[in-house]
């Protein structure tokens, strides 16, 4: 089986061709970035001329002509460099095609050939009878020019070949006649020098090829990373869509279940059955909250999560956590305790869904790794801020693992051994995600988090909330009410129009509203509304779902109905948080599914009271 390093990398041929073209263009730009050729053509001929004035005065005039030709060549090279730079600046932001690169390479190759030939003519201008020292100096100059040119021309074979051959071949061809007495010795040295230059050029070209291969590999890896990133984003979007669709489909019967339970509670007269109904409704409410949290966390991971800060009573969240995990704790012989300050009602201004998810995850994690003793969920004042703490008497966490415990999919080695015990309920078995979700949510809320632990003595996970605004006493008191829905709700007087295309939900809504004494009409589409209104039946409150029959959007229907009934109030009811946010931004009342019956009763009571007082 191939390892991950041997996995083939997908090759994008157009991308590879673009990499090659960019590399060739960079090489050409590197050639034209230096002005050493022009400088040498202007400065070296005067040195040869000065030496000729001392050893061969007859060559002064020919060398002056040669110097002038070299100056003309230097001017031409400078003009070529400037013209190519202008063309490349005009090309910025676009890709050069192969035809343009070949044309620029041919132009530079021709310039290199002319440059080399002009340097080689120094041999003809210093032909005997000149002093041997002058001729040796000319050959040394040509060798130096050839060696320096090789340094930066070798990566482009076409340019290097013309420059090299135009200097080296004349030097090699006339060496025996240029140095009659020393040609036999100089010719082998020139051959060795040529071989050395060729070997150096080949090595430089190989280095460029290796760099190009690395660049191709980097491009292939970048392409594979881009493809993998797109696939991951698509998979995440598909997962979020699946969660949204599945949660919406599952919340419909859950929403109807809560309404039916409340209708049953209103008609029930048996005290023993009332307690059971309360427990069932608590479970239904907790399950609905879990669906909402699941959607919120999915959106949190996709960076599309929008916080909804509100006043949240911490005691109520603690009570929900105890109610959810009390059975698991009792099953394992553990105690689950709660501590809140007696003198202060702790109310946090935060996102309720994220707060509940963090508390639940911390309690579940504490129970998971505690074999004896119990778990304490508490809150206390620290440095003027509220600090939420979850204590346990579990195995504890080693110091070297405490910095990694909040990483995704990380689980301590001792925790994995304990979790394999058969006595651990399936609901408490984790997959290394709970604490990472806590860290993710805390980061969005700006909450400090951490852990203090001692092996074999237990751990304390904490959340340190930022400075909180002062909460009005009314909010604190209302948030700390006891168990919602305890006992029968008072009867109401008014009319309510319900728009919902789900028969199960519509029937449940009819039953609960009738149990409260509300006159109700249930319709499936907006088209039926106008028939009801034309008959003279005018509602005091309109409760509209987002999805209606015929593909109608509930928010559009709700706006039209409330425009025609200025005396009525209304609310949009949906599990689609995007639709709810849009309606809320325009000033409409929104009710997320699954709807709590007590919340609906309170809204209707306030609406009907305002209507009767008007």
What are the structural domains of the chain? 7-181 (no CATH), 307-479 (3.30.565.10), 495-613 (3.40.50.2300)
Res 519 pLDDT > 90: yes
Band (3; pLDDT cuts 50, 70, 90): very low
Averaged confidence pLDDT in the chain: 79
pLDDT above 90 coverage of the chain, percent: 15
Band (117; pLDDT cuts 50, 70, 90): very high
Helix, strand, coil % in the chain, rounded to nearest 5 = 65, 10, 25
Rounded CA gap, 163 and 112, in Å? 5
Residue of 89, 70, 97 lying closest to 32 (CA atoms): 89
* Structure confidence by residue, pLDDT tens digits, 32-61: 777 788 888 889 999 988 988 888 888 889
**Higher local confidence (pLDDT), 168 or 574:** 168
Strand positions, DSSP E, 486-535: 495-499, 519-523
Q: Residue 88 has what pLDDT?
A: 81
Q: Residue 429 has what pLDDT?
A: 47
Q: Residue 118 has what pLDDT?
A: 92
Report how far Cα 510 is from the mean position of its chain's Cα atoms: 46
Band (487; pLDDT cuts 50, 70, 90): low
Q: Residue 494 has what pLDDT?
A: 92
What is the secondary structure of 154-190 as a DSSP string? TTSHHHHHHHHHHHHHHHHHSHHHHSTTTHHHHHHHH
**Higher local confidence (pLDDT), 64 or 598:** 64
Res 169 pLDDT > 60: yes
Q: Residue 428 has what pLDDT?
A: 45
Half-sphere exposure of 290 (CA within 13 A, CB side): 13
Q: Residue 541 has what pLDDT?
A: 93
Does the predicted TM-score (pTM) go above 0.75? Answer: no
Q: Residue 6 has what pLDDT?
A: 42
Q: Residue 294 has what pLDDT?
A: 62
Band (431; pLDDT cuts 50, 70, 90): very low
Residue of 581, 570, 573, 526 lying closest to 548 (CA atoms): 526
Say whether 256 sits in a helix, a strand or coil. Answer: helix
* Structure confidence by residue, pLDDT tens digits, 565-600: 888 889 998 877 778 878 888 888 888 777 778 778
Rounded CA gap, 94 and 582, in Å? 42
Q: Tell me the average pLDDT across 231-241.
A: 77
Q: Residue 130 has what pLDDT?
A: 67
Rounded CA gap, 366 and 351, in Å? 23
Q: Tell me the average pLDDT across 272-288.
A: 68
Rounded CA gap, 217 and 581, in Å? 46
Angle in degrees, CA 567, 568, 572, rounded to 5: 150
Res 607 pLDDT > 50: yes
Res 276 pLDDT > 80: no
Q: Residue 286 has what pLDDT?
A: 63
Band (433; pLDDT cuts 50, 70, 90): low
Highest mean pLDDT pick, 242-246, 475-479, 602-606: 602-606
**Higher local confidence (pLDDT), 550 or 285:** 550
Band (537; pLDDT cuts 50, 70, 90): very high
What is the secondary structure of 408-443 as a DSSP string? TT---HHHHHHHTSTTS-GGG---S-HHHHHHHHHH
Q: Tell me the average pLDDT across 246-274.
A: 69
* Structure confidence by residue, pLDDT tens digits, 202-232: 888 888 788 777 777 887 787 788 888 888 8
Res 407 pLDDT > 80: no
Q: Tell me the average pLDDT across 311-337.
A: 85
Range scoring the smallest mean pLDDT among 300-309, 375-384, 402-411, 602-611 = 300-309
Instruction: Say how many Å lie between the first and final Cα of the chain, rounded.
Output: 79
């Amino acid at each position: 089986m191939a390892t991950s390093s041997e996995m083939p990398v997908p090759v994008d041929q157009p991308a590879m061709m673009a990499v090659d073209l960019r590399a060739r263009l960079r090489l050409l730009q590197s050639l034209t970035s230096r002005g050493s050729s022009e400088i040498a053509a202007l400065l070296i001929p005067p040195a040869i001329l000065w030496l000729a004035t001392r050893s061969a005065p007859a060559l002064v005039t020919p060398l002056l002509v040669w110097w002038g030709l070299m100056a003309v060549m230097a001017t031409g090279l400078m003009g070529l460099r400037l013209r190519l730079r202008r063309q490349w600046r005009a090309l910025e932001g676009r890709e050069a095609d192969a035809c343009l690169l070949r044309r620029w390479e041919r132009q530079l190759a021709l310039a290199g050939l002319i440059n080399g030939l002009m340097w080689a003519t120094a041999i003809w201008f210093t032909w005997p009878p000149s002093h041997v020292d002058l001729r040796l100096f000319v050959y040394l100059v040509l060798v130096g020019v050839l060696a320096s040119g090789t340094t930066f021309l070798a990566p482009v074979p076409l340019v290097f070949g013309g420059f090299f051959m135009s200097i080296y071949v004349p030097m090699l061809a006339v060496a025996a006649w240029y140095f009659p007495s020393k040609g036999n010795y100089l010719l082998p040295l020139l051959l060795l020098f040529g071989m050395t230059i060729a070997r150096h050029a080949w090595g430089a070209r190989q280095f460029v090829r290796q760099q190009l291969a690395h660049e191709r590999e980097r491009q292939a890896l970048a392409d594979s990373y881009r493809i993998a990133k797109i696939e991951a984003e698509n998979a995440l979007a598909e997962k979020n869509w699946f969660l949204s669709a599945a949660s919406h489909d599952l919340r419909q019967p859950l929403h109807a279940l809560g309404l039916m339970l409340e209708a049953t509670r209103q008609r029930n007269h048996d005290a023993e059955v009332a307690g059971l109904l309360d427990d069932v409704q608590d479970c239904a409410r907790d399950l609905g909250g879990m669906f909402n949290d699941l959607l919120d966390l999915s959106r949190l991971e996709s960076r599309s999560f929008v916080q909804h800060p509100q006043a949240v009573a911490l005691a109520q969240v603690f009570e929900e956590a105890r109610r959810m995990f009390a059975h698991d704790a009792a099953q394992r012989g553990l105690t689950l305790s709660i501590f809140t300050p007696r003198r202060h009602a702790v109310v946090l201004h935060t996102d309720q869904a994220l707060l509940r998810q963090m508390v639940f995850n911390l309690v579940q994690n504490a129970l998971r790794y505690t074999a004896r003793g119990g778990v304490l969920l508490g809150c206390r004042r620290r440095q003027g801020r509220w600090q939420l703490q979850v204590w346990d008497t579990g195995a504890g966490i080693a110091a070297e693992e405490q910095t990694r415990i909040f990483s995704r999919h990380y689980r301590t080695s001792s925790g994995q051994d304990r979790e394999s015990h058969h006595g651990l309920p399936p609901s408490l078995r984790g997959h290394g995600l709970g604490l990472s979700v806590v860290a993710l949510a805390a980061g969005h809320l700006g909450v400090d988090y951490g852990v203090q632990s001692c092996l074999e003595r237990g751990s304390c996970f904490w959340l340190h909330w930022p400075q909180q605004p002062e909460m009005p006493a009314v909010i604190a008191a209302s948030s700390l009410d006891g168990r919602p829905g305890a006992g029968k709700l008072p009867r109401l007087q008014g009319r309510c129009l319900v728009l919902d295309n789900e028969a199960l939900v519509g029937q449940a809504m009819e039953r609960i509203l009738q149990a409260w004494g509300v006159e109700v009409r249930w319709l499936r589409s907006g088209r039926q509304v106008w028939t009801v209104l034309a008959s003279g039946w005018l509602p005091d409150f309109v409760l509209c779902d987002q999805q209606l029959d015929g593909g109608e959007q509930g928010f559009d229907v709700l706006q039209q109905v409330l425009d025609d009934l200025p005396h009525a109030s209304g609310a949009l009811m949906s599990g689609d948080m995007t639709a709810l946010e849009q309606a809320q931004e325009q000033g409409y009342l929104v009710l997320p599914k699954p709807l709590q019956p007590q919340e609906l009763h309170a809204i209707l009571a306030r609406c009907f009271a305002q209507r009767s007082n008007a």
